[in-house]
A and B are shown apart, each in its own frame.
Chain A
Amino acid sequence: MQLKINGQSMDVSVDQDTPLLWVLRDHLKLTGTKFGCGKGLCGACTVLVNDKPLRSCSVPVSVLKGMNITTIEGLSGSTAIQQAFVKHDVPQCGFCQSGQIMAATALLATNANPSENDIKNTMTNLCRCGTYPRIKAAIQDVAKKELIL
């Protein structure tokens, strides 16, 4: 099976029903995407598929053939939202952060100036350390900049 991940074509041979998460982590060794619940409830495994957020633990890889998959490794490390997460000192344990970054990236891609309610309704990823106030502040910071530009 051929997948398009971070702009590269990658061949994998796995069962059709294998969720994308485990293809990424266990077969392609792209371990930036994390496992948190396996049921699409926590968002630690969020990636982008055709620029939309997807919880990769719950989607069989076979339905993603030909689509553009972006993982945390596909971001530069210094995108506006990544810089804002550093500036606002968001991460604590860090485990959910890849997923949070991907979810925030997707939000800002479709809505350059999200309102507080937009953020609240979109950012549904869980964080046990409680970094929520800072995630919100980081997104708002990027949104503000986009407006000025």
Chain B
Amino acid sequence: MIFNISRRGFIAGLGIASSSLTLGFSAHAKQIKTLIDLNGYVSIDVDNNVLLTLPKAEMGQGVNTTFAMFLADEGDLDWSKISVQSSNDLSLTGGSGSISGNWRSIRRAGAILRVQLIQAAAEFWQVSADEITAKNSILSYQDKSITYGQLVSKATLLKLPKRLKPKKWDELNLVGKPTITIDAQQKISGELKYTGDIQLDGMLYAAIYHAPFSLEERIKTTYKQLDQIEGLSYNNQISQKGLVIINGAIALLAEDYWQAQKRLDALELHFTDDLTVIDTHKYAKQLNTILKDQSTLENVSIDQYFEIGNLTHSSMETSTCTVGFIDEKWHVWAPTQNANDAMRFAQAGLIVDKPIQLHTMPLGGAFGRRLVNDHVGQAISIAEKSLKPIQLIWSREQEIKHDHYRAMIHARIQVSVDETALSAFKNGTTKLNKAITWLGSVASQDSQLIMGLNPIYRFEDQSIRSGSINTPILNGYWRSVGDFPSAFFNESTMDILADKIGMDPLEMRLALLLPSSKEAKLLTLVAQKANWGKSKYAQGIAVKKTFGTEVAMVVDVSVDNNKLTIHKVVAVVNIGLIMNPSGAKAQVEGSIVFGLTAALYKGVDVENGVTTNSNFHDQKLLTLKQCPEIEVYFVEGGRSPKGLGEAPVPPVAPALMNAIFAATGKRITSLGLEDEFIF
């Protein structure tokens, strides 16, 4: 039996905005599809299977698992029967806000589910709802029982409950306990389908080659080169050799990806424009000149320059998109952190306006890269021009060369502390004189450039000024955004100051913080956990609040000649309420590995408009062998969970550099240690 449920009724009944989670029941798997355009929903079929469709992207950060835990707990669902997918209309997933912004909605959905089904069972057995118990997707009354699935059709006919009482925190079985990633089994057996695993009949594979970064419009540069190849132009369809020109790039289609890439590489495309001005070394000089030109404080005690280059996202899955024209509609399968943006790119990629159906896929990593959906626009363009179903796969080289990098950023930090203030400070006052920060970045519109730069430490007078230069290099959001450079600049400076005034870095920080601050508490705790001052290795410390979550960290290192060994990282995280201790710990571990990669390996260089780095041999990632022991401690408090996917990244680099200073007396002010150490 099939029941049609008014979606509008459900939205109204739930009394929540249409952009948040919506509940729908479906009696048949077929019917699920009719509801799929909703932003997020839950459905149960007659076989008791639960499908949770989330308005957020799963890219390894674990939201699918955490949301399913809430749903299962509130709904008394059988965990083994739940599967999770992303909505094709998923909203922007970033800023560590998925759980903190949506956990109440999902609890509510689970509670509605439970109440509706209990009510349905009560009517079925003609008893009071109070006498029904629900557990593991089964409803029981005395010795009778019935599955949720068997009652779905009845439950859908009931009015939504007017009042809902969520369970008490200690009544939740899964939430708060370590829970294995919901699709772990699919991931370790190769069964989970990513975008590149979607195979369409008659599909061709496309390799892509982008034009260099150019001060002119990139498309012009492409034309100039491509006019020399078979007289192709933007309006031509596909050439005999399988070439297609799209905006700013050329693609080549073949029966398999290998053939496509091989033939494309064989073209040996050379762009003739003079692009010598597009050069990161030159930009670095310009940024330093800007910083040098700023005024110098009187009685300056510290005047320090810092540098961070263009950092890559380097998700393991390169930009991939599968496209087919099926039943008068473009179907687009893609990894994305933002469905709206993917749709915008898809529409812009078409010459002839036609309906588009986006299918959001599990992401093979993202870290901010898939907030931009250039791959979607390109793939639909290639499919439209070639009149074939296609799969676009970026080579790793193109992925590194045409990333939207975390913008290179330089800083100059000055601290002025006079003798009077210093002796007063040492005698117990809690303020120092003056700090000033100048910033320069290549990203002209990096609104989050100075995110988190406001020092938490008490100086009498502190100010931040910033400026930027325009370049055609593409920049974008990158895990932990502006808090990453901010932490490196500030927390390194604090250690420089501690050294200058002859204080222990921890002691000085605590003296400059309000004792009641979260940062002071976390620093004290991390010092205790890491045996601060008593380790056999050199130690460095740092603390940072990112997207509302404070993290303090101690790194233990040793340096033998120029061999750097990172022995241990201890992190203490103020998490609010902990949802999934296993997933939470995984995010901290992963963030530390991510932060170490950024600290150890320089960003990419651009010369003549082209990124010179090309693959993992010259744009390295931390390996298992280099990965230190990681200890994680959570401090709970408050009434809601906090975001965790990014916050542990920023303290890593300064804590590491502070440890290296402790070991060697050498102060690292520019990220990337390949020239100084082996590791």
Contact = CB atoms under 8 A, between A and B. Distances in A.
Given A31-B196, A135-B624, A127 B316 contact: yes
A42 interface: yes
Contacts of B316: 34, 36, 42, 44, 93, 95-96, 126-129
Interface residues of B, number: 64
Contacts of A87: 180
Q: Which one of A21, A26, A44, A94 has the highest number of Cβ atoms from chain B below 10 Å of its Cβ? A: A94
B180 A86 contact: yes
Interface string A116-145: 000111011111111111111000000000
Interface in A2-42: 14-15, 18-19, 21-23, 25-27, 29, 31-39, 41-42
Interface string B232-262: 0000000000000000000000011111010
B381 to A, nearest CB: 21
A97 B393 CA distance: 20
A120 B188 contact: no
Given A85-B188, A126-B316, A135-B624, A14 B256 contact: yes
Interface string A85-126: 111011111111110010000000000000000011101111
B107 to A, nearest CB: 23
Nearest to B593: A130
Main SS class of interface, B: loop
Given A15-B259, A31-B196, A94 B187 contact: yes
A124 B677 CA distance: 20
B196 A132 contact: no
A136 B185 CA distance: 18
Interface in B360-381: 362-367
A38 B396 contact: yes
B352 interface: no
Given A26-B256, A31-B196, A132-B624, A85 B589 contact: no
Contact of B617 (A21, A33, A34, A41): A41
Interface in A29-62: 29, 31-39, 41-42, 44
B119 interface: no
A28 to B, nearest CB: 11
B99 to A, nearest CB: 15
A89 B589 contact: no
Interface string B477-490: 00000000000000
B624 A134 contact: no
Given A37-B396, A39-B615, A94-B60, A89 B256 contact: no
A133 B589 contact: yes
A26 B187 CA distance: 20
Contacts of A41: 615-617
Contacts of A133: 589, 627, 629-630
Given A33-B190, A85-B188, A133-B589, A42 B315 contact: no
A73 interface: yes
B191 A32 contact: yes
Interface in B259-294: 259, 261
Interface residues of A, number: 60
B623 interface: yes
Contact of B590 (A27, A85, A125, A130): A130
Contacts of A90: 184, 188
Contacts of B184: 85-86, 89-91
Contacts of B629: 133
Given A93-B365, A130-B592, A135-B624, A101 B256 contact: no
Interface in B613-629: 615-617, 621-625, 627, 629
Contacts, number: 187
A32 B190 CA distance: 4
A1 interface: no
Q: Which one of B184, B193, B365 has the highest number of Cβ atoms from chain A below 10 Å of its Cβ? A: B184
Nearest to A39: B615
B533 to A, nearest CB: 26
A93 B315 contact: yes
Given A32-B189, A41-B617, A95-B365, A130 B591 contact: yes
B317 interface: yes
B65 to A, nearest CB: 9
Nearest to A102: B190
A71 B627 CA distance: 27
A67 interface: no
B362 A94 contact: yes
A97 B396 contact: no
A131 B229 CA distance: 45
Interface string B574-604: 0000000011001001111110000000000
B205 A128 contact: no
A69 interface: no
Interface in B384-401: 393, 395-397
A34 B196 CA distance: 9
B499 interface: no
A131 B360 CA distance: 24
Contact of B257 (A26, A125, A134): A26
B183 interface: yes
A89 B583 contact: yes
A104 to B, nearest CB: 10
B199 A29 contact: yes
B59 interface: yes
Interface string B607-649: 0000000011100011111010110000000000000000000
Contacts of A44: 316
A75 interface: yes
A133 B42 CA distance: 34
Interface of B: 59-62, 178, 180-181, 183-194, 196-197, 199, 205, 255-259, 261, 314-318, 362-367, 393, 395-397, 582-583, 586, 589-594, 615-617, 621-625, 627, 629-630
Which 4 pairs, one residue from A and one from B, show the smallest C-beta to C-beta distance? A32-B190, A130-B593, A93-B60, A95-B364
Given A15-B259, A18-B258, A89-B178, 15 more contacts: A21-B258, A22-B257, A26-B205, A34-B317, A37-B615, A72-B189, A75-B189, A92-B61, A92-B62, A93-B60, A97-B188, A128-B367, A131-B589, A131-B590, A136-B627
Interface of A: 14-15, 18-19, 21-23, 25-27, 29, 31-39, 41-42, 44, 71-73, 75, 77, 82, 85-87, 89-98, 101, 119-121, 123-136
8 contacts: A31-B197, A34-B317, A36-B396, A93-B363, A98-B190, A126-B616, A128-B367, A130-B594
